[in-house]
């Protein structure tokens, strides 16, 4: 079974190097075939150059800016049976691969496996608030909806993604992951596991405020579950 990583990246020259270093270090320990694809999504900085410096990493240029456009481009470029989507500011945890393998290699009724973020660069009080937010909201939301996907940390079966025609590219940013979760749930189990986490930057919370961003995530989650559309239409200059 081949695994493909897709990493959308818009102006991520400061983060993509650490992301790829962390990922490649863990890939070296795996005995099966893995490919890594960075979708350089209309970047105006050195994102593509930094990514291409890593042996074995394939960079695909997508000039049409948009997170879902980049995710869809990645899906179309992959060769893997399983597609893992992570963000350009993430870093792998050593237990990520063993947990993914246990579920996706053995439980064939699971079409998607996802988990939360933990923040490597947040101030201490931010970490406390954000971890509390995840511990309360994610299990509650998963229990209420029966499906949850975090766009920057999930693995799905390629066949399932193609069966639902991939990502809705009309969605700009917020709500895109719950849209994919809802549609995948019609094909099989969409599993969310709080212990299947990946490290991520807290930059969005530091820039726009912890309560504002948490509210945006929460309201768009609810809107997708109830009305099958995001509440927020635009979010300017967002990094992926």
Domains annotated for the chain, with CATH where assigned, are 3-227 (3.90.550.10)
Handedness of CA 44, 48, 58, 166 (dihedral sign): negative
pLDDT of residue 238: 64
Q: What is the pLDDT of residues 133-164, one digit of tens each?
A: 999 999 999 999 999 999 999 999 999 999 99
Q: Residue 236 — very low, low, confident or very high, per pLDDT cuts 50/70/90? A: low
Q: What is the pLDDT of residues 20-47, one digit of tens each?
A: 999 999 999 999 999 999 999 999 999 9
Closest C-alpha to 119, from 133, 131, 110: 131
Structure tokens at 212: 């504002």
User: pTM score, two decimals?
Assistant: 0.95
- The values of phi and psi at residue 232, to 5°, are -95, 130
Question: What's the distance, Cα to Cα, between the start and end of the chain in Å?
Answer: 28
Q: What is the pLDDT of residues 186-195, one digit of tens each?
A: 999 999 999 9
Q: Is 69 within 8 Å of 169 (Cβ atoms)?
A: yes
């Amino acid at each position: 079974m081949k695994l493909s990583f897709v990493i959308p990246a818009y102006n991520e020259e400061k983060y993509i190097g650490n992301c790829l270093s962390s990922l490649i270090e863990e890939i070296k320990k795996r005995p099966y075939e893995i490919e890594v694809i960075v979708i350089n999504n209309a970047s105006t900085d050195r994102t593509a150059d930094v990514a291409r410096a890593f042996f074995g990493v394939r960079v695909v240029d997508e000039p049409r800016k948009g997170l879902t456009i980049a995710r869809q481009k990645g899906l179309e470029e992959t060769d893997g049976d399983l597609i893992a989507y992570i963000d350009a500011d993430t870093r792998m945890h050593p237990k990520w691969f063993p947990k993914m393998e246990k579920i996706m290699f053995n439980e064939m009724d699971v079409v998607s496996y996802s988990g939360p973020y933990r923040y490597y660069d947040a101030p201490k009080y931010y970490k406390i608030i954000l971890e509390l937010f995840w511990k309360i909201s994610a299990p509650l939301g998963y229990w209420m909806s029966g499906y949850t996907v975090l766009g920057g940390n999930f693995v799905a079966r390629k066949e399932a993604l193609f069966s639902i025609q991939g990502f809705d590219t009309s969605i700009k940013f917020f709500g895109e992951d719950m849209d994919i979760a809802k549609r995948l749930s019609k094909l099989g189990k969409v599993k969310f596991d709080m212990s299947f986490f990946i490290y991520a930057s807290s930059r969005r919370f530091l820039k726009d405020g912890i309560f504002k961003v948490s509210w945006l995530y929460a309201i768009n989650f609810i809107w997708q579950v109830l009305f099958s559309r995001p509440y927020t239409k635009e979010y300017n200059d967002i990094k992926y």
